[in-house]
């Protein structure tokens, strides 16, 4: 982000929706991918940018979501929680979110400040993509910049309509699109960067988009364009980055993508995976160089595995510490500590509180520590 505008950069994460298609009592932003709530993956990406403040708009399950953010959000982010008490669309949510930003933002010496707005259900977006969005926005001196994607099948998505000069003039939803507009393959990802000083006035010009009285953030694009502000678009190289998660099927697709990324990252850092497609490593796991993971290994929660340790095949570890050169074979370990050079299993069970000393051996079919229960009882 160096060399860009010195104006402030804030971010807003829209995480107030109920997510009825998930068919769950758990708020949609808290459904997990690779062991970490979905909205935290979004915040992890924002944490890589030089951001002054992040506003998270909560609604359904606000207390639960807020507690999760307080306990687990990146510590380097200054996060403000704002509640949207009545779900009246993304436009209303953004207006509510602006109340969480400083009153002087977008005025005086800070008139060139910008705000990134994105949904809490886009856990695959990468930090370099968000940085590129802000950079493009500032280089073009735009009032707003959209992150868009060019896809082969645009059915169901809002289409990006550009003017003759290449700037964006509006976003049209499929149900309102003409036949010509439906042929457009560039879609809106619902990730934006706005000039802070023009966002609030444009939101005030929105009108309800349906009988439910909802206000859509997409309509801001046309408002800004008609008012003479430049609206730019940056096409994301990998459309998967902007994929939203609205139901369990989409959750599984996002989970598979994220696991592939995690496994590739660890292999490039010196971890051996005999069968990456059947190796499951959560986002908070820490692995050392020369670790070997055999087929069927599942590492969940905050596991740490020391250098040259070997895990598997068919072992499941949850919140467990494994020392260097240790071996765990076909065993289950939950909340346990295994010392350097120790040998566990096969078919051993280590429950919470179990400690295996350096160079010790846990014989087959041995149980130590507390009950492993359902392996993971975290909320």
Domain CATH for 149:
3.90.550.10
Using one digit for the tens of pLDDT, what is the confidence trace for 154-212? Answer: 998 999 999 999 999 999 998 889 999 999 999 999 999 999 999 999 999 999 877 77
**CATH number, domain containing residue 287:** 2.160.10.10
Using one digit for the tens of pLDDT, what is the confidence trace for 35-76? Answer: 999 999 999 999 999 999 999 999 999 999 999 999 999 999
Q: Are residue 40 and residue 122 in the same domain, yes or no?
A: yes
Kindly report the average pLDDT of the chain as a whole number.
Answer: 93
Q: Are residue 127 and residue 232 in the same domain, yes or no?
A: yes
What is the per-residue pLDDT for 109?
45
Is residue 257 domain-resident?
Answer: no
Q: Are residue 214 and residue 66 in the same domain, yes or no?
A: yes
Task: Mention every residue, 6+ apart, whose C-beta is less than 8 A from residue 357.
Answer: 339, 342
What is the per-residue pLDDT for 107?
44
Considering the entire predicted model, what is its pTM? 0.91
- Binning pLDDT at 50, 70 and 90, where does residue 108 land? very low
The residue segments making up the domain with residue 283 are 269-368
Q: Choose the final residue of a domain: 200, 225, 242.
A: 242
| Statement: residue 2 has pLDDT above 50 | no
Q: Are residue 223 and residue 279 in the same domain, yes or no?
A: no
Q: Are residue 215 and residue 122 in the same domain, yes or no?
A: yes
Give the residue numbers annotated as catalytic, written as ranges. 21
């Amino acid at each position: 982000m160096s060399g860009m505008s010195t104006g402030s950069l804030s971010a807003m994460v829209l995480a107030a929706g109920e997510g009825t298609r998930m068919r769950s009592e758990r708020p949609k932003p808290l459904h997990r991918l690779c062991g970490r709530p979905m909205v935290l993956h979004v915040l992890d990406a924002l944490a890589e940018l030089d951001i002054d403040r992040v506003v998270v708009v909560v609604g359904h399950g606000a207390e639960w979501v807020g507690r999760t953010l307080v306990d687990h959000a990146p510590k380097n982010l200054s996060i403000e929680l704002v509640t949207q008490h009545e779900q009246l669309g993304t436009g209303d949510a953004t207006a509510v979110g602006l109340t969480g930003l400083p009153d002087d933002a977008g005025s005086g010496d800070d008139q060139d400040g910008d705000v990134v707005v994105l949904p809490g259900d886009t856990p695959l977006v990468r930090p370099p993509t968000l940085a590129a969005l802000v950079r493009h926005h500032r280089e073009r001196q735009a009032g707003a910049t959209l992150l868009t994607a060019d896809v082969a099948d645009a059915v169901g998505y809002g289409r990006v309509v550009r003017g003759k000069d290449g700037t964006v003039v509006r976003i049209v939803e499929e149900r309102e699109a003409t036949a010509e507009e439906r042929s457009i393959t560039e879609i809106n990802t619902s990730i934006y960067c706005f000039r802070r000083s023009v966002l609030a006035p444009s939101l005030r010009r929105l009108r309800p988009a349906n009988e439910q009285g909802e206000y859509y953030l997409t309509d801001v694009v046309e408002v800004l364009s008609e008012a003479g502000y430049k609206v730019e678009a940056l096409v994301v190289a990998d459309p998967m980055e902007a994929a939203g998660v609205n139901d369990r099927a989409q959750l599984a697709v996002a989970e598979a993508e994220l696991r592939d990324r995690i496994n590739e990252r660890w292999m490039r850092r010196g971890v051996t995976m005999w069968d990456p497609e059947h190796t499951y490593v959560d986002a908070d796991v820490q692995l050392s160089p020369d670790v070997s993971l055999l087929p069927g290994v599942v590492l969940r929660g905050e596991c740490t595995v020391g250098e040259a340790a070997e895990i598997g095949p068919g072992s499941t570890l949850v919140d467990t510490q494994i020392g260097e050169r240790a071996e765990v074979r076909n065993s289950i370990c939950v909340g346990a500590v295994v010392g350097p050079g120790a040998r566990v299993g096969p078919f051993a069970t280590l429950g919470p509180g179990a400690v295996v000393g350096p160079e010790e051996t846990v014989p087959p079919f041995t149980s130590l520590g507390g009950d492993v229960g359902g392996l993971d009882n975290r909320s």
